[in-house]
């Protein structure tokens, strides 16, 4: 019995750790789709314009991204690669000095190639949409799923400034009848961004889709291959069964 309990504990330990790791904020779920090339292209555009200045995705190459997303190499280099010394076959690294970055932000911006797998896609989607005004923080913003984050709200010009109406209250409180959240984040009507809430959500979907692709570029291939493997096993089953009948016919 003891061994079974122990085995179960090991089996579920990663799940428990993940469940405990959150900040208690309800994550919004997101359903990424690597076959949606238009979304991935838009995601790559947002990533290169708003994130690549600080972060690297250094396990990925420009060329692979261009090929997988259907972007011609010259367009990729002209419009999406701002480091003019970079070449198409280069890794998507970043020249920011890690030590200086640590002084500026309190923490160096981590590599994002695998972040959607480390943190989860839902976490990432929620993280990017829950920066809110907090005068106590050095950049004037805080984050709901990454409290006291060192990253500034780099998408403020798109989203606008969100204000938290829960201050000091309970983020998870819901109306017992309708189930609606009692308080939450709202864009300040005086300080709107260039996008509406829906447009911003779509943009963040595209960005998460791109980072999800980045963490597993062969996902589509893997799933397609999986279907062939199952078909092969199905056909093989027929022959295996016939063979078994042949071997056992003298025994019975």
Phi-psi region of 196 (alpha: psi -120 to 50; beta: other; left: phi over 0): beta
Q: Which of residues 42-81 bind ligand HEC (CB under 6 A)?
A: 50-51, 53-55
Q: Which of 77, 86, 88, 154 binds ligand HEC (CB under 6 A)?
A: 154
Q: Which of residues 29-48 bind ligand HEC (CB under 6 A)?
A: none
Stretch of residues binding ligand HEC (CB under 6 A), selected from 24-32, 62-70, 72-80, 110-118: 110-118
Q: Check residue 138 for interaction with ligand HEC (CB under 6 A).
A: no
Residue nearest to ligand HEC (CB): 51
Q: Which of 56, 149, 195, 215 binds ligand HEC (CB under 6 A)?
A: 149
User: Which residue number, 72 or 140, has a Cβ lying nearer to ligand HEC?
Assistant: 140
Q: Check residue 155 for interaction with ligand HEC (CB under 6 A).
A: yes
**Which residue spans within the chain are E strands per DSSP?**
57-61, 91-92, 131-133, 141-143, 160-164, 185-192
Q: Check residue 204 for interaction with ligand HEC (CB under 6 A).
A: no
Q: Are the beta carbons of 112 and 51 closer than 8 angstroms?
A: yes
Q: Check residue 145 for interaction with ligand HEC (CB under 6 A).
A: no
Q: Give the shortest CB-183-to-ligand HEC separation in angstroms.
A: 25
User: Which residue number, 154 or 166, has a Cβ lying nearer to ligand HEC?
Assistant: 154
Q: Give the shortest CB-118-to-ligand HEC separation in angstroms.
A: 6
Give me the phi and psi of 210, to 5 degrees please: -65, -45
Bridge partners of residue 160, in order along the sequence: 192
Q: Are the beta carbons of 203 and 210 closer than 8 angstroms?
A: no
Q: Are the beta carbons of 186 and 165 closer than 8 angstroms?
A: yes
> Total residues contacting ligand HEC (rule CB under 6 A)?
24
User: Which residue number, 152 or 181, has a Cβ lying nearer to ligand HEC?
Assistant: 152
Q: Check residue 110 for interaction with ligand HEC (CB under 6 A).
A: yes
Q: Check residue 115 for interaction with ligand HEC (CB under 6 A).
A: yes
Phi-psi region of 231 (alpha: psi -120 to 50; beta: other; left: phi over 0): alpha
SS (H, E, C) 89-105: CCEECCCCCHHHHHHHH
Going by C-alpha positions, the residue among 102, 155, 101, 113 that lies closest to residue 130 is: 155
Buried b (16+ CB within 10 A) or exposed e, 30-39: bebebeeeeb
The CA distance from 232 to 236, in Å, is 6
Q: Give the shortest CB-248-to-ligand HEC separation in angstroms.
A: 57
> Rule CB under 6 A: which residues touch ligand HEC?
50-51, 53-55, 105-107, 109-110, 112, 115, 118-119, 124, 127-128, 149-152, 154-155, 207
């Amino acid at each position: 019995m003891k061994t079974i309990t122990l085995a179960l504990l090991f089996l579920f330990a990663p799940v428990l750790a993940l469940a405990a790791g959150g900040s208690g904020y309800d994550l919004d779920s997101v359903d990424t789709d690597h076959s949606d090339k238009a979304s991935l292209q838009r995601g790559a555009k947002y990533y290169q314009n708003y994130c690549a200045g600080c972060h690297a995705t250094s396990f990925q190459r420009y060329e692979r991204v261009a090929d997988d997303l259907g972007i011609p190499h010259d367009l990729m280099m002209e419009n999406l690669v701002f480091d003019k010394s970079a070449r198409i076959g280069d890794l998507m690294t970043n020249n920011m000095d890690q030590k200086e970055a640590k002084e500026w932000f309190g923490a160096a911006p981590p590599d994002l190639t695998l972040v959607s797998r480390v943190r989860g896609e839902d976490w990432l989607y929620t993280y990017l949409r829950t920066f809110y005004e907090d005068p106590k923080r050095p950049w004037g913003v805080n984050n709901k799923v990454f409290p006291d984050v060192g990253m500034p709200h780099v998408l403020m010009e798109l989203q606008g400034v969100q204000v938290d109406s829960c201050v000091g209250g309970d983020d998870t409180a819901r109306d017992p009848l309708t189930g609606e959240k009692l308080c939450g984040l709202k864009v300040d009507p005086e300080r709107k961004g260039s996008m509406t809430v829906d447009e911003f959500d779509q943009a963040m979907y595209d960005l998460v889709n791109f980072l999800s692709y980045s963490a597993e570029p062969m996902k589509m291939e893997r799933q397609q291959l999986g279907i062939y493997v199952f078909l092969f096993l199905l056909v093989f089953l027929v022959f295996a069964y016939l063979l078994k009948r042949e071997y056992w016919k003298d025994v019975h």
